[in-house]
Amino acid sequence: MSSPVAGAMTGLRVIDLTRVLGGPYCTQILADHGADVIKVEPPAGDETRDWGPPFHEEDAAYFIGVNRNKRSIGLDLASQGGRAVLMNLLANADVLIENFKPGTLDRWGIGNEVLRQKFPRLVHCRISGFGGDGPRGGNPGYDAIIQAMTGMIAATGSPQSGPMRIGVPVVDITTGLYAAIGILMALSERQRSGLGQFLETTLYETGLAVMHPHAANYFMHGKPPNLTGNEHPNLVPYAIFPTRTDDIFIGVGNDGTFRKLAKEIGKPELGTDPRFARNKDRIANREALRRELAAVFAQFGAEPLCNRLLAAGLPAGPVQKIDQALSNEHTIHRGDVIAKDWYKGVASPIRMERSRSSLRHTPPKFSQHTNEVLAEFGYSSAEIDALIASGAVCGCERKR
């Protein structure tokens, strides 16, 4: 994974004006697969550089985790000189991605209409909280707030815990994934039309889109979900169970699988018991089934039991902490942890036969590549020095 290779996105140039998580997550996907991502940061830098501890040389792990394989240049886009440099960068770019508040680029005189006229082949992607129109158009968006507003928090947790935020920033990350998909769709369409286009992904619409099966259930029966903890609203058993050593998760998707599970754990009669024979029966009698399964699982150790069930083709897994997940034999065998110099990260999960992802560059220091990038775009050393002196372009020192 760490040797230089030609990735599927090699030759693609991306100008990345995004900060925090959704946008950087999107552009790291493209960068991992060979895109030349130029990360344009404001004079104070991407704020997640300060979201620690832990830190590596004053950059937080939060920033480091989503910014590998990119080059950084600092620009003050509030200045005319900074915007002029950006327009020069865009002249040779395929993609612009930004997450400014809708209307910001228009106020700077470089909105989508201007960009479309100057750079007709440019794909312009905007990530925002709610979009630019509607009652909440232009409002700021944050992962946890969107979780609250789209029904995620109300559907997460148990009757004992009450509603709970999902512990991973799933809205931000999924918005980044949708943005990457949208960019690739627009690039594919450009091959036919010869034209770029504007596209937008919003945190709010992403939050609604990933509320499956809760939205589908609501459209069908008109009832919001109950708090079921680790239980699935549509499948039983699909939950955490204790064993003699640790917890495991069992997920059963159909009646045949349940009968196979019952046989494998030495309780074949559960598979034909009228209370449990079909999924709708198991849902109606989930507590009785939980007691039956818990009594059996308590006789086993978690790891041996899961290994046995998985070997039999049954969905089961131990409930592991992140240190266990990153160090287990399968993770190591698959090369899922990549390293270069001081850096460690999780490899791209997109595996291609020929166009492999690679770790070419560690996450950049602030404005680390300013001279290198501007020289590639025809700026002389004297011009670069003058831009830095004027404040339009940032040197390696961040303004705080």
Kindly state whether residue 194 falls inside one of the protein's structural domains: yes
Q: What is the pLDDT of residues 202-238, one digit of tens each?
A: 999 999 999 999 999 999 999 999 898 888 989 999 9
What pLDDT is stored for residue 228 in this prediction? 85
172 is catalytic: yes
Q: What end-to-end distance do the CA atoms of the chain give, in Å?
A: 36
Q: Which CATH number is 276's domain given?
A: 3.30.1540.10
What pLDDT is stored for residue 369 in this prediction? 97
Do 28 and 121 share a domain, yes or no?
yes
Q: Which CATH number is 113's domain given?
A: 3.40.50.10540
Kindly state whether residue 19 falls inside one of the protein's structural domains: yes
Query: What does each of the 400 residues of the chain score in pLDDT, given as a tens digit?
Result: 444 568 999 999 999 999 999 999 999 999 999 999 999 999 999 999 999 999 999 999 999 999 999 999 999 999 999 999 999 999 999 999 999 999 999 999 999 999 999 999 999 999 999 999 999 999 999 999 999 999 999 999 999 999 999 999 999 999 999 999 999 999 999 999 999 999 999 999 999 999 999 999 999 999 999 898 888 989 999 999 999 999 999 999 999 999 999 999 999 999 999 999 999 999 999 999 999 999 999 999 999 999 999 999 999 999 999 999 999 999 999 999 999 999 999 999 999 999 999 999 999 999 999 999 999 999 999 999 999 999 999 998 887 6
Do 342 and 283 share a domain, yes or no?
no
202 closest CA partner among 148, 136, 151: 136
**Among 16, 46, 59, 172, the one annotated catalytic:** 172
Radius of gyration of the chain (CA): 25
Is pTM beyond 0.85? Reply is: yes
Do 76 and 147 share a domain, yes or no?
yes
Do 33 and 146 share a domain, yes or no?
yes
Kindly state whether residue 325 falls inside one of the protein's structural domains: no
Kindly state whether residue 108 falls inside one of the protein's structural domains: yes
Q: Report the number of distinct structural domains present in the chain.
A: 2
Kindly state whether residue 187 falls inside one of the protein's structural domains: yes
What pLDDT is stored for residue 2 in this prediction? 45
For residue 268, the enclosing domain spans 238-242+247-318
What pLDDT is stored for residue 166 in this prediction? 95
Do 34 and 161 share a domain, yes or no?
yes
166 closest CA partner among 214, 130, 236, 131: 214
